[in-house]
Structure 1
Amino acid sequence: MQNERVTDVLLVPTMIQMFVDHPAIGNYDLSSLKHIIYGASPISEAVLDRAARALPHVRFTQAYGMTELSPIATLLHPGEHVGEGRRKGRHRGAGRATLGCEVRIVDENDRPVPAGSVGEIVVRGDTVMMGYWERPEETARAVVDGWMHTGDGGYIDEDGFIYVVDRVKDMIISGGENVYSVEVENALAQHPSVLQCAVIGIPNEQWGEQVHAVVVSRSGVEVSAGELIEFTKTLIAGYKCPRSIEITETPLPLSGAGKVLKRELRRPFWEGRERRVS
């Protein structure tokens, strides 16, 4: 950026976190950077706040979508990250449907749900893929009556803003209550000792699943699992808080696109079981 005077970049949240937390960020002239577009996975409010503090001259836009949507379905514009938009909490959302797209939230029977209710995010428009190459059955499951099923859970507000709460497969059901890992991760990420975190469901004989967190702590900082659990209780409901936390300095496993591979974190807990739920 310093040498080439880069003005616009596209990053996933993991990259933003690594960028703004780098100890040498203050040693470079980043004044040319004007705009960061981010997407591919939800960003924690703590990381977004750190990015805004580290780069106060930069505007942020979130683009939500997937390859099958060519690839954008919604946009959260820079103005919604600050001022009135932030006061309304829109900086936590994914924005509104972009040109050529319709977005709605449906239940397990593909019926639209009321505003504020969580369901699956589906998208319709000319940007929806024709199908998976030579996989007609998979295509039929993904695209129903022209609506692409994203596999993401979310809700829509009265103004048409979409909020992604979790991947449907990453939702944790503990004692009959739905727990969205993104919400728990947002709470954990606000603790000053937490560099990265990921929340998964692991087997629990009494509750079916329990909320488990893997936390990457900041170098040289000591923090206990008990301290982190008590911290989350001040931010979210008790049943959503982690019941167990693994603290490590080893980076979380990432895909080539920079997404945390939660299946790798879940594997040792569910190994040898026929189902990935209890």
Structure 2
Amino acid sequence: MICETGESVSFGELEARANQGAHVMRAAGIGIGDHIAILMENRREFHEICFAADRTGVYYTTISTHLTPDEIAYILRDCGARMLVTSPAHAATVAALGDLAGCAIHVVGGVPCGFHDWTGASEAMPATPIPDERQGLDMLYSSGTTGRPKGIKWPLPDDAPGGRTMLLDLLTSLFSYGPDTRYLSPAPLYHAAPLRHSMVTIRMGGTAYVMQKFDPARALEMIERHRITHSQWVPTMFIRLLKLPEAERACRDLSSMRMAVHAAAPCPVDVKLRMLDWWGDIIHEYYSGTENNGFTAIGPDEWRAHPGSVGRAKLGVLHICDETGAELPVGAEGEVYFENGHQFAYHNDPEKTAACTNDRGWTTLGDIGRLDEEGYLYLTDRKSFVIISGGVNIYPQETEDALLGHPSVLDAAVIGVPNEDFGEEVKAVVQLLPGHTGSDALAQELIAHCRAKLSAVKCPRSVDFHDHLPRSATGKLYKRKLRDSYWQHARG
């Protein structure tokens, strides 16, 4: 493992530190089936702690560093964490968490900040395995884009650590992770995909290169310097890469790249085409969720034949259903369900588990889409993001994609705002590229740009300009926060 800071960890060092971490957990009374949490930026210790938990038989939850103390405390209490491992960078946040009865706080880096010293404690432990090793498991929380984060819990495996798993088999078969893999992770490790893909890479004998945070120019430099073979992205990152000056993009040697994988949100078709033209036919896409209730994937050749698709099912069987639960025919838009996928439950929330499961046992993540005759899935939007104007359902993803095609636009969100006659109307909230300034004239230009591509009902009636849009580090838009600010203002 190589960190952007220049630190590197050999397999022998990772093995020793994971064993030492496992001893620390046992010494703290953390037993099989217990729960720990990790709150830290991308740094060397992150993987070491996860691998320690993986051989201790505990559930481990990685927490976004962008959450407030109240949000972090909610997750810690909800999952029943008995230990939180953090870094000095988050000491002030941790100090504001309030009473966390039964949850001991440990700090890495030799700067305990008044809490337990993880680094000192682990260095004092033996580098040999604990006597009662057991496979641990992540229990990650959804991003909370539509409400309180939900913990996704699977049964703890009754296995020794290091064996084959469903996820290991799926990812290695699809993306060819192996001993010669040089995997670049430009996203925070607290998210499901960066964490799981990087850990699979390491378990298969490959090397994970971890950026501290995403920067488009820096990412290209790392691909060239480290001869990266595999990388993982989200559409927002593609857009920022494409917005770099042509000379800055053209000067980098990216020929080592054999596979670039992207997911997390639908990618605008023109963005994907431009990336394929630049990087070649190495870009693969998948659709899944932290829940792993199903999985689709599509390679570059397939995608060119089915532009806009996120692929066919590789785990589970796809169905499209209407609001009553009835299955819809080919081509019809509805809620996406998986049959015979991986079973899961939302921790401490049987109502949410039941709400995403229909009477046939099929499960959904709340996305809207359609299937073609060959079984390829096309995502339209999130069910919770649908705008209903005058009784017409409007899916904002299509409008957002159109706005992103304008040369002045860096990011865009389309939401429904109150309208006295129609209930809701379409509004665009736009972040412009540096050097561009919002104005009434540019707003009208953007509306006209949309009308040239889409029917009028899908186009914004107004445009607001924001300096930044509320996105997670993996590109998910916190549309609920954006939408709520408009509705709260309307209510006075």
Scaled to the shorter chain, the TM-score interval is: 0.7 to 0.9
Does structure 1 residue 266 correspond to structure 2 residue 489? no
Tell me, yes or no, if structure 1 residue 226 matches structure 2 residue 444.
yes
Kept in 1: contact 2:303–2:309 (CA 8 A): no
Task: Give the 3-state SS of the residue equivalent to 1:224 in structure 2.
Answer: helix
- Match in the other structure for 2:353: 139
Mapping of residues 132-171 of structure 1, within 5 Å = 132-144=346-358, 145-171=360-386
- Greater shift, 43-52 or 152-161, is seen at 43-52
State the distance in 1 between where 2:377 and 2:341 align. 20
User: What code does the residue aligned with 1:20 have?
Assistant: L
Asked which structure has the greater RCO (Cα within 8 Å, sep 6+), the reply is 1
Instruction: Give the corresponding residue for 1:200.
Output: 415
Structure 1 runs not aligned, ≥5 long: none
Q: Does 1:21 align with 2:243?
A: yes
1:197 counterpart SS class: strand
For the 8 Å contact 1:37–1:62, the answer to whether it is kept is yes
Alignment partner of 1:41 out of 257, 265, 276: 265
Measure the CA separation in 1 of the matches of 2:277 and 2:468.
Answer: 24
Match of 2:472 in 1: 255
Question: Which whole-Å CA distance do the structure 2 matches of 1:137 and 1:196 have between them?
Answer: 35
How far does residue 93 in structure 1 lie from its aligned partner after superposition?
1.4
Counterpart in 2 of 1:31?
255
CA distance in 2, matches of 1:184, 1:174: 15
Counterpart residue number, 1:102: 317
Equivalent residues of 1:61, 1:77 under 8 A apart: yes
Distance 1:150 1:22, change over 3 A: same
Structure 1 residue 52, shift from structure 2 partner: 2.5
The answer to whether the 8 A contact 1:104-1:112 is kept is: yes
Q: Partners of 1:96 and 1:128 in 2: how far apart?
A: 19
State the 1:6 CA deviation: 0.6
Contact 1:151 1:169 in 2 (8 A): yes
1:239-275, Cα deviation, whole Å (9 max, x unpaired): 1110011134x2321114321111121122111778x
Q: By how many angstroms is 1:136 displaced? A: 2.0
Q: Percent identity?
A: 37
Distance 1:186 1:126 in 2: 30
Once residues 273 and 464 of structure 2 are traced to their aligned partners in structure 1, the CA distance between those partners, rounded to angstroms, is 25
Structure 1 residue ranges (4+ consecutive) displaced by more than 6 angstroms after TM superposition: none
**CA–CA separation in structure 2 for the residues paired with 1:27 and 1:267:** 43
Gaps of 5+ in 2: 1-222
In 1, Cα distance between equivalents of 2:321 and 2:333: 8
Cα distance in 2 between the residues matched to 1:127 and 1:19: 34
Higher helix proportion (structure 1 or 2)? 2
User: Could you tell me the TM-score, scaled by structure 1's length?
Assistant: 0.88
Aligned partners of 1:147 and 1:224: how far apart in 2?
46
Higher strand share: 1
Alignment of 1:61-210 (within 5 A): 61-69=284-292, 72-82=294-304, 85=305, 90-98=306-314, 100-129=315-344, 131-144=345-358, 145-210=360-425
Counterpart position of 1:246: 464
| Rounded Cα–Cα distance in structure 1 between residues aligned with 2:417 and 2:244 | 32
Deviation string 1:137-187 (CA, Å, 9 cap, x unpaired) is 221222233211220011111221111101001010111111110111122
CA distance in 2, matches of 1:154, 1:177: 17
Distance 1:247 1:50 in 2: 26
Partner secondary structure for residue 51 of structure 1: helix
CA contact (8 A) 2:240 2:410 kept: no
Q: Which amino acid aligns with 1:154?
A: G
- Give, in whole Å, the separation in 1 of the partners of 2:434 and 2:340: 46
| TM-score calculated relative to the size of structure 2 | 0.51
Q: CA deviation at 1:79?
A: 0.7
Aligned 8 A contact 1:198 1:262 in 2: yes
Q: Specify the code of the residue in structure 1 equivalent to 2:308.
A: R
Instruction: State the alpha-carbon separation in 1 of the partners of residues 303 and 243 from structure 2.
Output: 20
Secondary structure of 1:80 counterpart: helix
Larger radius of gyration: 2
Q: How many pairs were matched up?
A: 263
